[in-house]
């Protein structure tokens, strides 16, 4: 089992963050531009943990070289089913330097976009270390 999967299933945000390279790039299923950097990626993943309900991985696929991994999952967001995949690439130091998430169906992606949009001010504040009324 990949350590990222173990950390996510344990809902251990510190362990998740420790697995991210400083220059990690996160590509969201609901945003056009990727998010570069460990701080914003870790904050987004904490936000995802707040909005996903009944999250569980269903399958794990690893490339022959051990540097590429696909983790398939299911969850619920505001009553909508979400099926998705986390695509991980591991750098020379054993850290995740690329994380791309894809989800389906469209109704689940829309629910995720709405829920994450409601989280985004808090996510930005967490990433920059600023306090906000929702986290203070």
CA distance 58 to 26: 21
Structural domains of the chain, ranges and CATH numbers in brackets: 3-120 (3.10.450.50)
Q: Encoding tokens for residue 110? A: 């829309």
Per-residue pLDDT of the chain (136 residues; tens, 9 = 90+): 789 999 999 999 999 999 999 999 999 998 889 999 999 999 999 999 999 999 999 999 999 999 999 999 999 999 999 999 999 999 999 999 999 999 999 999 999 999 998 988 898 899 898 754 444 4
Nearest-angstrom CA–CA distance, 56 and 122: 24
Q: Looking at the whole model, is its pTM more than 0.85?
A: yes
Alpha helices in the chain (DSSP H): 3-9, 13-18, 38-51, 106-128
Six-digit token pair at 133? 């009324």
Whole-angstrom CA distances from 46 to 1, 68, 126, 134 are 21, 23, 9, 14
């Amino acid at each position: 089992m990949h350590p990222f999967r173990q950390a996510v299933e344990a809902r251990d945000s510190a362990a998740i963050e420790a697995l991210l390279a400083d220059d990690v790039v996160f590509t969201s299923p609901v945003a056009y531009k990727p998010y570069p950097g460990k701080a914003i990626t870790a904050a987004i993943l904490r936000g995802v943990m707040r909005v996903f309900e009944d999250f569980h991985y269903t399958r794990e696929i690893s490339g022959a070289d051990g540097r590429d991994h696909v983790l398939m999952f299911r969850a619920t967001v505001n009553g909508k089913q979400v099926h998705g995949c986390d695509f991980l690439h591991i750098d020379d130091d054993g850290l995740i330097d690329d994380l791309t998430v894809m989800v389906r169906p469209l109704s689940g992606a829309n629910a995720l976009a709405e829920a994450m949009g409601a989280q985004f001010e808090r996510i930005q504040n967490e990433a920059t270390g600023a306090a906000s009324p929702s986290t203070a």
